[in-house]
Chains A and B, each alone.
Chain A
């Protein structure tokens, strides 16, 4: 009986030291998951609607294409859905320089390794008259934003 109690106490003693050690390792590992990210917001303003000509305009800094057809706008991501290179618009299709994926003007895949169509981003007009893109929100293909009525 006495021996048993000793055994249990010893187990608790050693166990707690070991547990503290493991917890410390866990804490050190947790440090590698950043809590604060100094990254640009996923919602940002680009230019005014009327600053864009008809057709496909690359916004390299935000890695997207602004597409204008008269008064209708939509925004397609320039990031290849395969492994994240920037696709390039060549008047009839998008091509990816990394592994050769090809996309139709609406972003759907023609050929190549890309598994999904290019993303369409939610777009709106901010109160001060700029196009505002939310790269965290996808919208269905066929989305159109009517803006820039002044001239077309």
Chain B
């Protein structure tokens, strides 16, 4: 019975089935769904313990965010009068509306984290050498875009968090030298936060940024292929070239008859051997599906267990006390709060130093890292290569500092942004909102 069904399935949907290695490759390359995979991938590229499939997990989150986001668009109205109400409706009046919003929210926060960890993985494996440097830069841009997507996203509910986040965020933009005030004016669509501001952030969030990220994601993937796969394969390639090739002496045929010499070595473009590679379908496609399902279920579980936060309706007259940014921006809030420098009568605002110059510097160093890395090439594709110890420690310490700042901001800061140790009583502050 099962065999008959299988045969029927084949007859209905398959005009042909591959009969040789070559035909199997063609089946992948010529298939609409599979053609963006190479016919074969290196086993080393698919090693769970090398990459942890974090890039695939990021892509899965992007897909989940796009689908849930488009669904949310059916219920959300980008108007200052109705935005907050439409979120409340999602929570109380739309079947599974709260679940949808929760999943979108947790997937978004998850994506910020996963994209960063993915970047850390690439750093710790030194996987950005040679032509892969371009993809490193693309990755940094994708990380930034992810942050911008989150920022524009949590403004949309038009609650207190949204309103004061725009206030602080665009005030930081205003501090940029020369162009600052103009940038703020365009972002707000005026001098004050209002309908224009909401609409601008909405269009950025639902159209420009997602399209930009999807296109760049496509380029990111294309480059991975053109660079020959993950940097892990360099290890294999090195191992292969270590084995001295014995070129078989043979006779070659030339116009003038038989001449002694060596035959031309046929090398695969990746420098890998047949046994190092497997067909991408089903070997890779199945793993991608698995990663997607796991990521989907984790976000779904989070959505079932935890509700996305929603503060009171935006109120320009009352600032929440304390007004905290979401966790992935809290370290920036710590920076702008503590980097104002006074030298005599001269003041440099923390908004410029901690909000623009310092993050800009970090970003610049991060972007240029592939060109700063002078370690031997053989360290690429290796976890925590001893030759890159100092670099890895630098990256780890910077990450740790950011995490510490986030912890301080999230757990220790109380009313008026003062430090309150755990257990220490926090004063009651009027909560008017």
Q: Tell me the complex Cα distance, A117–B355, Å.
A: 20
- Contact mask B400-433 → A, CB, 8 Å, 1/0? 0000000000000001111000000000010000
Q: Which of A82-106 contact B (CB under 8 A)?
A: 82-86, 88, 95-100
Chain B residues lying within 8 Å of A34, measured Cβ to Cβ, are 189-190, 196
Given contacts A82-B171, A98-B168, A99-B333, 6 further A-B contacts (CB under 8 A): A83-B355, A96-B319, A97-B321, A113-B336, A115-B347, A115-B350
B351 touches A83 (CB 8 A): yes
Q: Closest chain A residue to B193 by CB distance?
A: A84
Listed by A's residue number, 5 A-B pairs whose Cβ atoms lie within 8 Å are A83-B171, A86-B317, A97-B323, A98-B319, A99-B336
Q: Does B252 contact A (CB under 8 A)?
A: no
Q: Which of A62-121 contact B (CB under 8 A)?
A: 63, 82-86, 88, 95-100, 112-116
Q: Does B70 contact A (CB under 8 A)?
A: no
Chain A residues lying within 8 Å of B270, measured Cβ to Cβ, are none
Chain B residues lying within 8 Å of A100, measured Cβ to Cβ, are 337, 416-418
- Contact mask B346-379 → A, CB, 8 Å, 1/0? 0111110001000000000000000000000000
3 A-B pairs with the lowest CB-CB distances in the bound complex, closest first: A100-B417, A60-B317, A99-B337
A39 touches B194 (CB 8 A): yes
Chain A residues lying within 8 Å of B351, measured Cβ to Cβ, are 82-83, 113, 115
Q: Does B297 contact A (CB under 8 A)?
A: no
Q: Tell me the complex Cα distance, A96–B348, Å.
A: 18
Chain A residues lying within 8 Å of B320, measured Cβ to Cβ, are 97
Q: Does B211 contact A (CB under 8 A)?
A: no
Q: Does B322 contact A (CB under 8 A)?
A: yes
Chain A residues lying within 8 Å of B316, measured Cβ to Cβ, are 63
Q: Does B262 contact A (CB under 8 A)?
A: no
Q: Does A25 contact B (CB under 8 A)?
A: no
Q: Tell me the complex Cα distance, A37–B192, Å.
A: 9
Consensus secondary structure, chain A interface:
loop
Chain A residues lying within 8 Å of B338, measured Cβ to Cβ, are 99, 113
Q: Give the shortest distance, in Å, between A30 (CB) and chain B (any CB).
A: 11
Chain B residues lying within 8 Å of A39, measured Cβ to Cβ, are 190-192, 194
Q: Tell me the complex Cα distance, A84–B172, Å.
A: 10
A115 touches B349 (CB 8 A): yes
In the complex with contacts A83-B172, A84-B171, A100-B418, A113-B189 CB distance below 8 A: no
Chain A residues lying within 8 Å of B355, measured Cβ to Cβ, are 83
Chain B residues lying within 8 Å of A38, measured Cβ to Cβ, are 190, 194
Q: Closest chain B residue to A97 by CB distance?
A: B321
Interface centre among B167, B319, B321 (most CB of A within 10 A): B319
Q: Give the shortest distance, in Å, between A95 (CB) and chain B (any CB).
A: 5
Chain B residues lying within 8 Å of A61, measured Cβ to Cβ, are 317
- Our pick among A60, A85, A113, A114 for the contact of B323 (Cβ within 8 Å) is A85
- Contact mask B78-96 → A, CB, 8 Å, 1/0? 0000000000000000000
Q: Give the shortest distance, in Å, between B334 (CB) and chain A (any CB).
A: 9
- Contact mask B181-219 → A, CB, 8 Å, 1/0? 000011001111010100000000000000000000000
- Contact mask A15-50 → B, CB, 8 Å, 1/0? 000000000000000001110011110000000000
Q: Tell me the complex Cα distance, A11–B31, Å.
A: 45
In the complex with contacts A97-B415, A112-B340, A82-B323 CB distance below 8 A: no
Chain A residues lying within 8 Å of B116, measured Cβ to Cβ, are none
Q: Closest chain A residue to B316 by CB distance?
A: A63
Q: Tell me the complex Cα distance, A78–B199, Å.
A: 27
